Copies of this chain bind each other. A is one copy, B any other.
Amino acid sequence: MDYKGVKGTRDFYPDEMRVRNWIADAWRRVSLRNGFQEYDSPIFEYLDLFTAKSGQEIAGQLFSFTDRGGRQLAIRPEITPSLARMVNAKINALPRPIKWFSVPRLCRAENPQRGRLREFFQWNIDVIGADTVLADAECIYVAIDALREMGLSAADVCVRIGSRPLTIAALRAAEVPAALTDAALAVLDKRPKLSDEAFSQLAGDAGLTAGQIAAVGRFQDASDMDEIRSYFEGREEVKAHLDDLAELFAALETMGVGDYCTLDLRVVRGLAYYTGVVYEVFDRSQSLRAVAGGGRYDNLLEVLGGPKVGATGFGMGDVVLGLLLAEKGKLPDLSPRIDYFVIESEQSLRPKVLEVVGALRQAGLSADFNYRPQAIGKQLKAANRRGAKMAVIIRADVVSIKDLASGTQQDRALDEFLKSPTGAEHMA
């Protein structure tokens, strides 16, 4: 019998776990310093929470199952529907704006590819109950704050920012019928991954004329606010969305992260529930999939049975980010370290070893020892292998404390050491 893990899932051995924790710790630290509070939802929910309104992209990627009570359940492929459900359940008790984050484990039944697995972790940042574009700006700021915290500069990554309402206005301006909007958005979302021919073919299949495809293409290729303003010249109904986008870029500049951000109207996002500013984070060379993506979704809470309350946020997965950090050499040395490794100079002193180990740990210090009797030299090797800073060699009533980096050694009375293990020799 040979048991294996399921393809597209990962085993986190200690080396990989330390990388995962290093990333998740940075996400948490950055979330908290930006004023967000952590929440989490169950790993499985009623199936219909996910199939309700998240769009076909998600619905086709569910691991679903039936429990013994006949209930249709599914493992969460994203956390946003659960977030909306939780907020709706307490909407009147929660002071707004609700600034929450989570680092959920998510599962999607897709074919594993580079940067795309069937199980992954995704940092989620959301602001609910704030209609101002400042909330969108803050979410983008937080994404950048985390990337910067992990050592990625504006030369490494870029936030590409688009607008759902402006894209829809461009479809309207090109006289694409309203009934085709969702299909057109789905095709536009795929455009950056397609050749011009393949895109035209797909857009044609979705019902767009060659003229419409060209017109919307000109809109998407606009590279600054002036170009978009002139594209929509005379269309007053678009002004508020243009002003929002301008305010968003101004706020990001003022907060000191303007160099990470760029206008890119080709960003549309795949999920159906976005209603405002949308964005994706890519490595500058765009050799990898998106590191993060998000935007405003003002209707989701209402669609899931709650009041109409605006919301905005993003998700950042650990898989592509991990590849990028490794590629750019940003992962630090995460070798395990412990404070003390306790060594017996002869086997009869084993009870003293246990006593010292217990005392050190109770004092909050990390300490380890060998289960099996060994020569001092072998125990010292074990101490080095386990990343100990100091070795404590028990010699009856005296202990020798050896700094394993410098090699310096000092003797102390065992009693005295137990009373104050973190003496001067530890500070050295």
Contact surface of A with B, Cβ cutoff 8 Å: 1-6, 9-14, 17-18, 20-21, 32-35, 37-46, 48-49, 52, 63-65, 67-68, 71, 73, 75, 82, 85-86, 88-90, 95, 97, 99-100, 105, 107, 109, 119, 130, 132, 134-135, 138, 141, 145, 148, 250-251, 254-257, 304-305, 336, 338-339, 351, 354-355, 357-359, 361-362, 364-368, 371-372, 385-386
User: In the complex, given contacts A4-B85, A17-B37, what are 11 additional A-B residue pairs having Cβ atoms less than 8 angstroms apart?
Assistant: A3-B49, A5-B86, A6-B46, A14-B38, A20-B40, A35-B386, A43-B43, A44-B119, A63-B73, A132-B372, A256-B359
Closest residue of chain B to A53, judged by CB?
B1
Q: Contact check: which of B1, B39, B49, B354 meets A17 at CB < 8 Å?
A: B39
B85 lies within 8 A of A37 (CB): no
Would you give the shortest CB distance from A391 to chain B, in whole angstroms?
14
| A135 proximity list for chain B (CB < 8 A) | 371
B33 lies within 8 A of A367 (CB): yes
Most buried by B among A11, A85, A99: A11
| A255 proximity list for chain B (CB < 8 A) | 354-355, 357-358
Would you give the shortest CB distance from A48 to chain B, in whole angstroms?
8
Q: How long is the Cα–Cα vector from A41 to B21 in the complex, in angstroms? A: 14
If over half of A's interface residues share one DSSP class (helix, strand or loop), that class is named, otherwise mixed; here it is mixed
| A43 proximity list for chain B (CB < 8 A) | 43, 75, 105, 107, 119
25 residue pairs of the A-B complex, CB under 8 angstroms, read A1-B304, A3-B49, A3-B52, A3-B85, A3-B304, A4-B46, A5-B45, A9-B42, A10-B42, A11-B39, A12-B39, A13-B86, A14-B37, A14-B38, A17-B37, A32-B338, A33-B364, A42-B119, A44-B75, A44-B119, A97-B371, A138-B371, A255-B354, A255-B357, A256-B362
B42 lies within 8 A of A355 (CB): no
| A364 proximity list for chain B (CB < 8 A) | 33
A6 lies within 8 A of B351 (CB): no
Would you give the shortest CB distance from A319 to chain B, in whole angstroms?
13
Q: Contact check: which of B95, B141, B358 meets A385 at CB < 8 Å?
A: B95
Given contacts A257-B358, A359-B256, A362-B256, contact A5 B35 (CB under 8 A): no
B366 lies within 8 A of A35 (CB): yes
Most buried by B among A44, A85, A367, A371: A371
A367 lies within 8 A of B130 (CB): no
Q: How long is the Cα–Cα vector from A68 to B5 in the complex, in angstroms? A: 17
| A41 proximity list for chain B (CB < 8 A) | 5, 11-12
Q: How long is the Cα–Cα vector from A28 to B359 in the complex, in angstroms? A: 19
| A338 proximity list for chain B (CB < 8 A) | 32-33, 35
Closest residue of chain B to A28, judged by CB?
B21
B38 lies within 8 A of A17 (CB): yes
Q: Contact check: which of B67, B130, B339, B358 meets A254 at CB < 8 Å?
A: B358
| A37 proximity list for chain B (CB < 8 A) | 14, 17, 336
